[in-house]
Amino acid sequence: MAKTLYDKLFDSHVVTEENGTALIYIDRHLVHEVTSPQAFEGLRLAGRKPWRISSIVATADHNTPTNGWDKGLSGIADPVARLQIETLSDNIREFGAKAYFPFMDSRQGIVHVVGPEQGATLPGMTVVCGDSHTSTHGAFGALAHGIGTSEVEHVMATQCLVQKKSKTMQVVVNGTLEKGVTAKDVALAIIGKTGTAGGNGYAIEFAGSVIRNMSMEGRMTLCNMAIEAGARAGIVAVDDTTINYVKGRPFSPKAEQWDAAVAYWNTLHSDEGAKFDAIVTLDAEEIQPQVTWGTSPEMVVGIDGKVPSLEMAKNEVQRGDWERAYAYMGLTPNTPISDIQIDKVFIGSCTNSRIEDLRAAAAIAKGKHIAPNVKLALVVPGSGLVKAQAEQEGLDKIFTEAGFEWREPGCSMCLAMNADRLASGERCASTSNRNFEGRQGQGGRTHLVSPEMAAAAAVAGHFVDVRQFV
Amino acid sequence: MEPFVKLEGLVAPLDRANVDTDAIIPKQFLKSIKRSGFGPNAFDEWRYLDQGEPGVDNSKRPINPDFVLNQSRYQGASVLLTRENFGCGSSREHAPWALEDYGFKVIVAPSFADIFFNNCFKNGMLPIVLSADVVDGLFNQVAATEGYKLNVDLGAQTITTPTGEVHSFEVDAFRKHCLLNGLDDIGLTMQQQDKIKAFELNHQQTQPWLFN
Ligand code: SF4
């Protein structure tokens, strides 16, 4: 029978199955400081050891500061954050890992940037991490999803996850994207169409000519945002783009194993005629650069659009949501998006902090300067290696000459656990993935956009159609 | 884990859709390396008028009187009634930890985000999906009746209102079994060690690069 890619990945990892609940084997376990301490503590209390240490790759990212690295650990002003970062080091020392990139290691960075970059994420793998954006790794034709801390402990102890099979959704985007329209815009446009709950209970496979023509960076951006559509997993079939990206990375298969791996990876696509439980289609030509206006990623419109008015809400519940969102965001219905002035800009996060994202933003910022009303424009590379690469290409200079701050890698203002955050009422053009109330700082107002759109907004001081710059 | 069998609990209504995990427990509290003590900071940004930080005495902070959970009639609630897509956003298990520590054992909504839903069961909490219409009806009844309680029976998979209306709900058989008996997942999975080892051996032979 014709199988979907999701079915292939799931079925090939089932250890046992009973009444639809399966135990699936986990190939790669990515670990960071925030969702692991309680799991390690659980192992310790029960006298358990990790099942397979070589599956564990760890780094510190959520809490780490993005400046003041010359002071080392003691530069972390918040003692609670420092303890959490130190606890990860202690736990890895005690329990072990295949690789650990601690705070300030040259390879440290956001776990979802580091994994692929190291070749620790490979096609055909099952990948888990105590972080919802683990869906990112699905870009490699891997089955990857976020888990809670109890599950982190479970995977450490047993190398398995208790899992029910999801339904499958295929999201097909055909056509050609206009210049200046990016994977981020595709992701936001999809969420605008399905809603943030549209993918609940589903694994999404992204397909169509737009995805086939996308770089790995773009596919990662897309799969990263699958969780914002409610889907625990997003996947893209393996092709030459995938294989070329993986080749030669530190943990990728070498020499004699490489050919066998590639032969297997080339089977990782949905079979002709495979049935999906749901299909959503989008036309590339209809996708504009997107900007979120509200407090959920589904509250999104094209740059030509306006903040929607209440009459457009589909029901009472949505009316309530929108009314709260207007108040929180300090916006009135029918305001043109391009009239919205911003205070800060954040270019970073596991959605958009890879080299390609930084190149695209730099291309817009080059030779220009951030607008006087923009108090702070941060560029935070996804990892130490991305940072080094960008510096080698001179991107850091372009940014700093344009008035941006060039920082050390980490999650930074994506969730504002460290010192990088919005003050109450501040409005930010952000390349991250969540615009929830308080996400970037209590009372902070987040508008999600692509790196190009963020850079353009920084220069203009308000949202502006980046298509006029490219 | 404590078994969950039956509960008669006061219901608190949270009339919002898409309540995300950042709202349930803001990130500054995720720095803790402990599993407990998150209750006083559940819904922190809605519940208090100032900005919460770890280590602050929450009993001295200004309360937001407009936030529904602060109303005296809902004190001691153990059932949270809310709208669709509850618990969306991050995978932080701190969200169910905070709700559980606050006192909630049951959450009723038309739908939940997947990871949050899963995390509830791992912590002895029961998330219940009822149709949007039924949930709407419950919201009206809660508003109209002070001290409104629901009777939840996991064995029978029913919720009974004070007037005797019975609503059945679905629950996965495995999760129900674990919850009813307070079973720890890891212990259960370890009973399958031999199968895991056999799978692993075979997996290593066919895809050796996964084990480098
Ligand atoms: S960058 Fe943001 S979304 Fe990504 S892992 Fe870090 S905090 Fe989570």
How many angstroms is it from A383 CA to the middle of ligand 1? Answer: 12
Determine if residue B61 is left, alpha or beta; phi over 0 gives left, psi from -120 to 50 gives alpha, anything else beta: beta
Report which residue type is found at A125.
M
- Residue A469 in this model has a pLDDT that exceeds 90: no
- In the DSSP assignment, the letter for residue B87 is T
**Average pLDDT over all residues of chain A:** 96
CA B137, CA B11: separation in Å to the nearest integer?
Answer: 13
CA A173, CA A207: separation in Å to the nearest integer?
Answer: 6
Position B8 scores a pLDDT of 97
Position B2 scores a pLDDT of 82
Give B185's contacts (C-beta < 8 A, 6+ positions apart): A150, A154, A162, B122, B178
CA-based nearest residue in chain A for residue B120 = A148
**Measured between beta carbons, which residues in chain A are less than 8 angstroms from residue B91?**
35, 130-132, 134, 146-148
ipTM of the shown complex = 0.94
Token digits of residue B15: 């009339």
> Between chains, do B22 and A46 touch, taking CB under 8 Å as contact?
no
Nearest to A164 among B34, B84, B172 (CB): B172
Residue A169 · residue A203 · CB < 8 Å: yes
Position A181 scores a pLDDT of 98
> Hey, is the C-beta of A81 within 8 angstroms of any chain B C-beta?
yes
User: How, if at all, do strands B149-153 and B126-129 pair?
Assistant: unpaired
Distance from CA of A169 to the nearest CA of B (A): 15
- Residue A317 in this model has a pLDDT that exceeds 90: no
Q: What does each C-alpha distance from B52 to A419, A427, B58, B63, B182 come to in angstroms? A: 15, 21, 8, 11, 33
> Between chains, do A159 and B196 touch, taking CB under 8 Å as contact?
yes
What's the pLDDT tens digit per position in A32-47? 999 999 999 999 988 9
**Measured between beta carbons, which residues in chain A are less than 8 angstroms from residue B83?**
317
Position A466 scores a pLDDT of 97
- Sheet of strand A21-25: strand arrangement: A14-18, A21-25, A160-164
Residue A205 · residue A236 · CB < 8 Å: yes
Atom of ligand 1 nearest to the CA of A432: 2
Nearest to B91 among A52, A54, A130 (CB): A130
> What is the mean predicted confidence (pLDDT) over A367-372?
98
- Residue A165 in this model has a pLDDT that exceeds 90: yes
What's the pLDDT tens digit per position in B77-115? 999 999 999 999 988 999 999 999 999 999 999 999 999
Report which residue type is found at B179.
L
One digit per residue, the tens of pLDDT, for chain B of length 212 reads: 789 999 999 999 999 999 999 999 999 999 999 888 999 999 999 999 999 999 899 999 999 999 999 999 999 999 999 999 999 998 899 999 999 999 999 999 999 999 999 999 999 999 999 999 999 999 999 999 999 999 999 999 999 999 999 999 999 998 999 999 988 889 899 999 999 999 999 999 999 999 98
